[in-house]
């Protein structure tokens, strides 16, 4: 034990302690006198520590993108397009189907004349993107044309849909003005889950609704005799299908969709008009991807709580829309939202780039719908898997309970150590308190959040820190009993106990790393504090405690050691 060694040790410890103290209670701005008062220190502490949602209050939502529905729609649409392409090229079809299920997406087209398969394939692939062999595997055996989606494409498309959904959700969250949200993918990549954390949000109902809005907007041609005759509607789905005269099936270029007719403003809102059905043409004239803007406006002549959506189209969409409306004067056009017709109007004159969606919206629902339309349609619906909301008062209760339990535990430990190990107990207490400070500093420096299970991790760290001290002290006592001199007993005690301490710490750190890498939420918060606490403990319980012993032994020749 040399002198210069001691000096270097003391300098390292003082510097680390000061840095730790600064990280924990230092202000992140130019310090003022206020920052040195008790209230200022508390304020800085509160600013520096990131509290988890369970402690500060907020909402935690886990949602899943239903990518299977995205793939289903894609397959169905391509199937319809393939049939249309074959018919347009002059080939009769006997039948066909689209299979949709995870790992099993097929398009089957059965021509009336099996010898024409090759020609039909060419005709279809010229118009529909089924020729991409990285997505669709073609086979022409058994008198039918079959396109099967490759499993690689299934994965890629599903992943893309999730990424797209994530982007759209992000823009919606920003439009809603949620402060400091955290949005990220969650769990395994194949689970297609998204985690959204919103600090301070106590009632996530509105956010949930806005995020869930699929907002698939289409402007379609409604099959009906032209104005001035009324729109052709049907009371039941079966009636609508029967009107198509195609033996109970819906031809590929038609679709039967529900239609909720708009009520008169004066009518009793509690008595909605019955649901009706209309036949529309497939594909739609234009869809929501052509939207330039959408906003909520008050309906003309409507009541104060009656709102509608006013939308405008991008240049390309407006051109397409203008051309179509110009050639269909007096026919009926429908606005379809998420597969349901919201309003039908006849075309008085050519329309280019504006339209309305009416449907008795309240101000809030109209604004939310406009917001989701602006952000774009979700590629697939989302469902909520997990929702956790903690009010700030509940969070404050948790902090109180956690702090109280930690302090009682800490006090018990300190009293015992001072009683049992006397002078050396002071060592242990200094090491323990330094451990607490540096642990907080570690959490702050690494930007980790402190959660309720994190507090549990702190309590376990207190336990392990005391264990290290007990191991060392008991060992020193043993060496003293076996007749060693005080300096060599201290040396041996530290050296021998250190091996054990390393083994116990490394094992616990290994298991905590597993928890951190593979665990979620609370498990992770626990692992973070434990790992940081244990690493710091190697410094505080071994290095600092030993330095204190070195200092004690260097001052005078000791007759006895208070241990």
Partner 1 sequence: MFQILHDVNIDWLGNRRWFIGISVLLMLLGLGSAIFRQATGRQAFNLGVDFKGGTVVTARFKQRPPDDAIRSALVSKGINDAVVQPVTDRNDTVLIKVPLEGEGQDGRARVREALSTFGTETPATTELEADPNAAYKIVGTDAVGAIAGAQLRNKAIAVTLAALVGILIYIAVRFEWTYGAAAVIAVFHDVLVTLGFFSIFQLEVSLTVIAALLTLVGFSVNDTIVVFDRIRENRKLHRRDSLYKVTNDSINQTLSRTVIANGLVFLSVLAMVLFGGDVLRGFSLALFIGVVFGTYSSVAVASPIMVWWEQRLEAANRAAALSFNQPVRGGGTRSPAKATGREPITPRARKAGRA
CB-based burial label for 33 (10 Å; 0-12, 13-18, 19+)? exposed
We find the least distance from the C-beta atom of residue 98 to partner 1, in angstroms, to be 25
- Minimum CB distance to partner 1, residue 453 (Å): 5
Distance from the first to the final alpha carbon of the chain: 20
Residue 185's DSSP bridge partners are 194
Q: Using CB under 8 A, which residues numbered 529 to 558 contact partner 1?
A: 530
Q: List binders of partner 1 among 378-397 (CB under 8 A).
A: 383-391, 393-394, 397
Interface of this chain with partner 1, residues 409 to 448, rule: CB under 8 A:
409-410, 412-413, 416, 419-420, 422
Closest approach of partner 1 to the CB of residue 495, in Å: 11
Q: Does 118 bind partner 1 (CB under 8 A)?
A: no
Nearer to partner 1, 262 or 388 (CB): 388
Shortest reach from residue 320's CB to partner 1, in Å? 38
**449-450 and 50-51 as β-strands: parallel, antiparallel, unpaired?**
parallel
Nearer to partner 1 (CB atom), residue 355 or residue 457: 457
Partners of 337 in beta bridges: 217, 340
Instruction: DSSP for 212-247, please give it.
Output: H----EEEEEE-SPPTTSPP--BSSHHHHHHTT-ST
Say how far apart CA 124 and CA 323 lie, in whole Å: 26
Q: Rounded to 5 degrees, what are φ and ψ at 68? A: -65, -30
Site for partner 1 contains 287 (CB under 8 A)? no
Q: What are phi and psi of 187, to 5 degrees?
A: 70, -160
Among 367, 522, 538, 552, binds partner 1 (CB under 8 A): 522
Nearest approach in angstroms of CB 525 to partner 1 is 9
Q: Which of 2, 4, 481, 557 binds partner 1 (CB under 8 A)?
A: 481
Does the footprint of partner 1 cover residue 520 (CB under 8 A)? Answer: yes
Residues 35-64 that bind partner 1 (CB under 8 A): 62, 64
Q: What is the dihedral of CA 522, 528, 533, 534, to 10 degrees?
A: 110
Q: How many CA atoms lie within 13 A of 199 on its CB side?
A: 11
| Nearest Cα to Cα of residue 339 among 209, 210, 216 | 216
Q: Does 320 bind partner 1 (CB under 8 A)?
A: no
Looking at residue 327, the DSSP 8-state letter turns out to be T
Query: At closest approach, how far in Å is the CB of 375 from partner 1?
Result: 23
Provide the 3-class DSSP secondary structure of residue 106.
Answer: strand
Q: How far apart are CA 254 and CA 240, in angstroms?
A: 11
Q: Which CB, 37 or 422, lies closer to partner 1?
A: 422
507 scored as a contact of partner 1 (CB under 8 A): yes
d(CA 178, CA 307): 24
Cβ 487 vs Cβ 87: under 8 Å = no
- What does the alpha-carbon distance between residue 125 and residue 79 come to, in Å, rounded to a whole number? 12
Site for partner 1 in 210-229 (CB under 8 A): none
Residue 538 beta carbon to partner 1: minimum distance, rounded to whole angstroms: 14
Sheet holding 93-99, edge to edge: 93-99, 106-111, 145-149, 136-139
Do 135 and 153 form a contact (C-beta atoms < 8 A)? yes
Regarding 99 and contact with partner 1 (CB under 8 A), the answer is no
Stretch of 157-165, 434-442, 483-491, 502-510 lying at the interface with partner 1 (CB under 8 A): 502-510
Count the residues in the chain.
563
Segment interacting with partner 1 (CB under 8 A) among 19-27, 96-104, 200-208, 302-310: 200-208
* Cβ closest to partner 1, residue 6 vs residue 459: 459
Least separation, in Å, of the C-beta of 384 and partner 1? Answer: 6
Radius of gyration in angstroms for the set of CA atoms belonging to the chain, rounded to a whole number: 35
Which of 521, 545, 546, 548: binder of partner 1 (CB under 8 A)?
A: 521
The binder of partner 1 chosen from 227, 295, 312, 508 (CB under 8 A): 508
Q: Could you give the CA distance from residue 530 to residue 461 in angstroms, rounded to a whole number?
A: 6
Q: Does 506 bind partner 1 (CB under 8 A)?
A: yes
Least distance in Å: CB of 459 to partner 1?
Answer: 6
466 is a site residue for partner 1 (CB under 8 A): yes
In this chain, which stretch among 129-137, 240-248, 256-264, 471-479 interacts with partner 1, using CB under 8 A?
471-479
Q: How far apart are CA 295 and CA 310, in angstroms?
A: 5
Residues that contact partner 1, how many (by CB under 8 A) = 75
Stretch that binds partner 1, among 124-132, 225-233, 280-288, 475-483 (CB under 8 A): 475-483
Q: Which stretch binds partner 1 (CB under 8 A): 15-23, 133-141, 235-243, 517-525?
A: 517-525
Taking CB under 8 A as the criterion, the residue among 199, 453, 493, 533 binding partner 1 is 453
Q: Report if residue 302 touches partner 1, rule: CB under 8 A.
A: no
* Cβ atoms of 86 and 109 closer than 8 Å: yes
35's CB contacts (< 8 A; 6+ apart) are 27, 41, 44
Cβ-based nearer residue to partner 1, 488 or 520: 520
When asked if residue 515 is in the footprint of partner 1 (CB under 8 A), the reply is yes
| The one among 122, 129, 203, 239 contacting partner 1 by CB under 8 A | 203
Number of Cβ within a 10 Å radius of residue 94:
12
485 is a site residue for partner 1 (CB under 8 A): no
């Amino acid at each position: 034990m040399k002198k210069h060694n001691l000096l270097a040790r003391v300098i390292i410890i003082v510097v680390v302690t000061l840095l730790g103290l600064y990280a924990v209670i230092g202000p992140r701005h130019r310090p003022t006198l206020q920052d040195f008062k008790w209230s200022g220190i508390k304020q800085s502490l509160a600013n520096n520590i990131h509290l988890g949602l369970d402690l500060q209050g907020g909402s935690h939502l886990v949602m899943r993108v239903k990518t299977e529905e995205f793939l289903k729609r894609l397959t169905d649409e391509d199937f319809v397009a393939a049939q249309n392409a074959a018919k347009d090229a002059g080939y009769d079809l006997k039948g066909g189907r689209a299979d949709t299920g995870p790992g099993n997406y097929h398009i089957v087209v059965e021509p009336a004349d099996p010898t024409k398969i090759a020609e039909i394939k060419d005709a279809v692939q010229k118009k529909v993107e089924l020729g991409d062999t990285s997505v669709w595997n073609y086979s022409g055996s058994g008198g039918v044309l079959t396109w099967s989606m490759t499993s690689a494409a299934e994965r890629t498309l599903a992943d893309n849909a999730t990424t797209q959904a994530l982007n759209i959700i992000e823009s919606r969250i920003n439009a809603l003005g949620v402060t400091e949200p955290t949005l990220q993918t969650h769990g395994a990549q194949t689970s297609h889950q998204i985690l959204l954390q919103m600090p301070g949000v106590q009632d996530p109902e509105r956010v949930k609704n806005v995020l869930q809005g699929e907002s698939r907007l289409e402007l379609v041609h409604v099959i009906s005799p032209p104005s001035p005759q009324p729109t052709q509607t049907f009371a039941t789905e079966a009636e609508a299908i029967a009107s198509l005269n195609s033996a109970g099936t819906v031809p590929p270029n038609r679709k039967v969709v529900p239609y909720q007719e708009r009520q008169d403003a004066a009518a009793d809102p509690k008595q909605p008009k019955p649901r009706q059905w209309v036949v529309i043409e497939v594909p739609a004239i234009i869809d929501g991807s052509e939207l330039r803007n959408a906003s909520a406006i008050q309906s003309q002549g409507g009541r104060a709580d009656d709102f509608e959506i006013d939308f405008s189209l991008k240049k390309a969409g407006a051109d397409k829309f203008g051309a179509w409306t110009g050639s269909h004067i007096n026919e009926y056009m429908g606005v379809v939202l998420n597969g349901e017709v919201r309003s039908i109007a006849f075309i008085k004159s050519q329309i280019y780039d504006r339209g309305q969606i009416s449907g008795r919206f309240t101000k809030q629902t109209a604004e939310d719908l406009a917001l989701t339309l602006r952000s774009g349609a979700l590629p697939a619906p989302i469902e909520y898997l997990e929702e956790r909301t903690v009010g700030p008062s509940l969070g404050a209760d948790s902090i109180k309970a956690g702090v109280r339990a930690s302090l009682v535990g800490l006090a018990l430990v300190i009293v015992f150590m001072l009683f049992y190990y006397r002078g050396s107990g002071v060592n242990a207490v200094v090491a323990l308190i330094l451990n607490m400070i540096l642990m907080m500093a570690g959490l702050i420096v690494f930007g980790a959040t402190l959660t309720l299970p994190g507090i549990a991790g702190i309590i376990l760290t207190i336990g392990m820190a005391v264990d290290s001290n007990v191991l060392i002290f008991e060992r020193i006592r043993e060496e003293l009993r076996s007749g060693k001199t005080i300096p060599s007993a201290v040396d041996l005690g530290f050296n021998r106990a250190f091996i054990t301490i390393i083994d116990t710490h490394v094992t616990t750190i290994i298991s905590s790393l597993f928890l951190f890498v593979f665990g979620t939420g609370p498990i992770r918060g626990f692992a973070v504090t434990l790992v940081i606490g244990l690493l710091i403990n190697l410094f505080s319980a071994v290095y600092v405690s030993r330095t204190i012993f070195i200092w004690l032994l260097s001052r005078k020749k000791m007759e006895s050691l208070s241990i």
